[in-house]
Amino acid sequence: MRQIEAFVNAFFDEHLRTPTMREIENGTGLSRQTASSYLRTMAEQGMLEYDGRGGIVTEHIRACTASQVVSLPIIGHVAAGVLTAAEEVREGFVEVPHSLLSGSDYFALRVYGESMIAAGIQDGDLVVIRKASHASVGQIVVAIDDEGQTTLKRLAHDGERYYLHPENPEFADIYPEELRIQGVAELMLRDLKQ
């Protein structure tokens, strides 16, 4: 039982999810039936939670997930369509596991429009943005032009200058006179209940 618990905890630390029964079998050398039997016994003894379908929660996993959540402000909306004026209205906060963030200076924006649908970003999604004034070609960025207009697009370069490329063929590339990067998109969150 301790071998299974140690494997589950180590697997969670590395992959940020619990292992499947096949992964437990491969990682411990125990058959799936034996591992499943031990998990049920461990659940009965209160050593962990196990739902019989693969959901495993140990004390280690509970402590990791409870203590490593960051609350990010949702500071407004960003257009994934035509350029629009930036809205700096706080909508609330969203909690994100700290392990998914590569730094400490983040905020979230609600997306509206359909110019980034081929990148998997849809109208109403929340995008977690790492504050940055520079980005690499190919990254999805929140950009502001010289008139204070803001949008979410992929940063591109045509050999002469940078431009903003939508991920929807119905929208045209945007070549602002002055392009200012406000941040780089790192995560997309979607409420599947809607």
CB 87 within 8 A of CB 108: no
Query: In a 3-state reduction of DSSP, which class is residue 24?
Result: helix
* Count of beta carbons in the 10 Å neighbourhood of residue 181: 17
Query: In a 3-state reduction of DSSP, which class is residue 154?
Result: strand
Looking at the DSSP bridge assignments, the partners of residue 187 are: 128
Q: Which residues are catalytic?
A: 115, 153
Strand residue runs (E) in the chain: 48-50, 56-58, 69-79, 84-85, 92-97, 106-112, 126-131, 140-145, 149-157, 162-165, 179-189
Residue type, 95: E
The span from the CA of 155 to the CA of 139, in Å, is 6
CB 120 within 8 A of CB 133: no
Give the distance between the most distant pair of CA atoms in the chain.
Answer: 67
